[in-house]
Structure 1
Amino acid sequence: MDILLVGGLLLVIMMVLLSGGVWIAMTLAICGWVGQAFFTDTQPGKNLFSAFWESNASWELAALPLFIWMGEILFRTKLSEEMFEGLRPWLNRVPGRLMHTTILGCGIFGSVSGSSAATCATISKVALPELLKRGYSEKLALGSLATAGTLGILIPPSITMVVYAVAADASIIRIFLAGFLPGILLMMLFSGYIMWWSLRHPDQVPAADPPTTFIEKIKLSRSLIPCAALIVFVCWVLIAGYATATECAAYGVVGALALAAWSRSLTWSNFWEGLMGTTRSSCMIMFILAGAAFLTKTMAFTGIPRELAEWVNAMHLSPLALIGVLTVVYLILGTALDGISMIVLTSAVVLPMIQKAGFDLIWFGIFIILLVEIAEVTPPVGFNLFVLQNMTGKDSNTIARAAMPFFACLVVCIVLVTVFPQIVTILPDMVMGVDQ
């Protein structure tokens, strides 16, 4: 059977199972099992156990439940409410007001966690209840959280960036530096859309508070200082090299517990509820990761990603046409694979094509990471859609529709870095030199 036909069949099975209400992780695992059992000579049972173990037996993954626990503590002890109250006077005159905290929070937290799932889950836990309580648009909040959560893999440090640097034999530091300006650009695009939407729908944004002086703003923001200090500390110890991402997550949990105890809002009840909430969210995400890992093995055994890449190579396209076709190919792969798998399974064929066409490998690294971000919010296997679906009970297609305007912002960002590659290359060239 034609290999692309196999891919289409697996995609149809996935859509049928998801629409029938089958658990997301089980759907991914079933598709992986069908692919291996009927279209390869390998043993699906053995690969199932190895995929589940390999996907979760990771020291780096230990940061995920810790960061989620940090968000649970901030949410359940009312520290998040104090944080929003402290931000309110500073964003009072900005169109969209507190809605911008989703973008800012995901950007800052993404630089600490390096994980799209952890960023989306943690900021959603903290921000979504507060925004809804204050009367902000649920659709806008869900869309911004789904897409801004992807900043976790664009703003350094990022596990996906490390994987690409190893695959491309490129400098990890240069890749990290290259991600900063596109990350800031994407945050500006997201916030710009929120401002535009808010000006067009003033009736769906809470009314502004009375004007306050600078001194009054400082007084109203006193409750913001503890949480801000915790975030700055966690970022600083990571950037300064004093701790790994996992250790930073542990510091964040200890700091959040200390702040909650200091503010006398920590009780045995909300401590236990936060712990159980963390367990449920972490198990959900890790179960989905395991199912995705098994499906990735199926893709590797069937050779679908390599077949697509070799098909593109055989077309002998011009440089810009090559980029256009690769964009389509990676978007297709993003409907069934996670970002790291997309890079690993195609790099052996794609990277030589990119070098031959004269593109900078550092630039292409950021380009492909932006495509991975789009994959995170693309049905049927948009990982951030799954995270929000399990956290809010909303259907993933509903969340995907809410994310469409922000999806367009991602596309605009890709176009801008393609037309103006200096957005990616200028910072690493300035810091490390052009020839390094």
Structure 2
Amino acid sequence: MPRFLFQISSMLLLVALCNFSIAQQSQTIETQLLERLTKSKNELQALEREITNKSNTYADRLRKKEATIQELRNQAAAQQRLADEQLVSLEKLKERVEQWSAQSHYQQHILTEYSIATQMNVADGSKYRILDLAAERINAALNPAWQESDVLSSDGHIYAVPSLTLGPVSIGLETETQSAGLIIKETGQPSRMISVFNSASNKEFFALHQTGTGLYTFDPTLGNALQLHHHNEKLTDHLRKGGLWAIPILIFGALSLMIALLKTAQILRLPKVKRNLAEEIQALVNKDADHSAIDQVSSQAGPDQRELVSIARSVPVSQQRDDLLVAFLMEHKHKLEKYMGVVATSAAIAPLLGLLGTVSGMISTFKMMTIFGSGDAATVSGGISEALVTTELGLIVAIPSLVVSALLTRQIKSYCHKLENFAIKLSKISFT
């Protein structure tokens, strides 16, 4: 027993010594870890301070660079504004110089014209003749008087006619034909007279020339109405502007018009459908009337109803009779609707052809603009005219064709519907 206790005590002592040794080792390791952590923390703080210092240094340098760049930008903007102001001033000076030059050229032109007109000779002391001529022209404009003017006749001869000028409008009188007209003056060409007044105005002009009293017909448009009148084009010229695509549109339009007229005449010649004919025939059959009475009643209706009655009388009530009636109705409907698809097709295809012409014209326009530029309107007007004219023709053909197709189709359906109702009623009547 004492030996057992001694062993236990020894074991406990060994365990205590081991725990003590482990505790000492743990304490040593903990101390070393704390020292390493402290050292690392100090190094980290030192590194952060170093990074902060360097960041501040770089930030200061960056701010200085940005300030320098901003200053350079301001200087560049100031230089650019100065250059722009100088350029604008130069442009304004050029514009003024051009205006002064144009005024000078205009004045020189007027002076040259007056000098040539009066054949002035400065050596003779007539250097003020220009001003005298200007005063004479002003007095002549304020106090108009009849004078002789040379005009170009239609046969190519130049002859003198009495003329009266009021502002920009000049009136000439042709004594041989007792007619008056406007005198058109064009640069580089002889003056010509155009007769645009009626007989009453001609009499007033001749009275004004002979007695000094009369009514003066004045053009408030100052010649624009006359130019518009001369620019009015004929229908053929207008259609010719449509180009190649106007031809199929016109063909479809003519075809649609011809068929519409024929179908209208056919529908107008259709006999009226007698509504109570089936009831009258049924009443006669119920009374056992003879065939002559039925024929007399049927003769009052149109040929289509008489044909239906003939089919019903020739075949007893059966599926065969119904088939024959339906076949007759279908054949008659087919005759009425024949060629109506051409009108509907014209109404559908005409706008598409117009659109095709529009696209073709615009392609031609852009091609001309690419070659000649967009400065000259006459160069690109041909393509635009083709584009607009084809669109116009397509709509002109399509709209009436669509309306006519709808009206004729409605009339045909109404007539066929009445015949179908009559055939249905007739199919139930037994004539045997």
Common fold by TM > 0.5: no
TM-score (norm 2): 0.18
Higher relative contact order (CA 8 A, sep 6+): 1
Which has the larger helix fraction? 1
Bigger Rg, which one: 2
